[in-house]
């Protein structure tokens, strides 16, 4: 797939995937470990605060904007499948859409909603927090790897 517009879209998808990779990576290697060291009520309160703060236009632009770019690049790759970079556009798009968007919506968001509904200092909160730390973080590792892989595929499409 050649052409200036496709290259611009791919470059933007590369940047968006990279932003998401960095965000997910820092949660996987630092933030969740730090929260796990806190008493449950403090960890819950901190994560609840992050889950509210992350709902903002800049995050949405990067998260969903990259998803939109991925849809466009996937369609272009199918239409122009015989072109050299098509397989990388398609792979990057699928990795982003499945490994980030779908995983987030199916696994991370429902856990965030459950966490939002508990009182940080309750027994229910402490029980949920133990599960949240392991399950949410495991799915975040998937998102981390998927976003790194998507970024790599988009980089390969640009070469």
Residues 18-38: tens digit of each pLDDT: 999 999 999 999 999 999 999
What are the pLDDT digits (tens) for 43-94? 999 999 999 999 999 999 999 999 999 999 999 999 999 988 999 999 999 9
Q: What is the pLDDT of residue 29?
A: 97
Report pLDDT for 1: 46
What is the C-alpha separation between 54 and 60, in angstroms, rounded?
Answer: 9
**The pLDDT value given to residue 4:** 85
Question: What is the reported pLDDT for 3?
Answer: 65
Region 2-21: mean pLDDT is: 93
Mean of pLDDT values over 137-159: 98
Calpha distance 29→150 (Å, rounded): 19
For the chain, give the mean pLDDT.
97
Share of the chain above pLDDT 90, in %: 96
Instruction: Examine the pLDDT at 124 and tell me if it is beyond 80.
Output: yes
Residues 10 and 152: beta-carbon distance below 8 Å: no
């Amino acid at each position: 797939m050649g052409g200036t517009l496709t290259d611009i879209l791919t470059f933007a998808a590369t940047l968006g995937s990279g932003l998401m990779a960095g965000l997910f990576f820092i949660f996987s290697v630092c933030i969740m470990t730090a929260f796990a060291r806190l008493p449950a009520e403090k960890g819950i309160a901190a994560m609840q605060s992050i889950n509210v703060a992350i709902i903002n236009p800049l995050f949405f632009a990067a998260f969903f904007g990259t998803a939109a770019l991925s849809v466009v690049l996937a369609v272009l790759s199918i239409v122009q499948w015989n072109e050299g970079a098509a397989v990388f556009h398609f792979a990057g798009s699928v990795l982003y859409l499945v490994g980030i968007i779908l995983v987030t919506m199916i696994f991370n968001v429902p856990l965030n909603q459950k966490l939002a509904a508990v009182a940080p200092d309750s027994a229910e909160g402490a029980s949920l927090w133990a599960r949240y730390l392991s399950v949410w973080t495991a799915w975040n590792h998937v998102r981390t790897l998927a976003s790194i892989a998507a970024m790599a595929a988009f980089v390969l499409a640009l070469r």
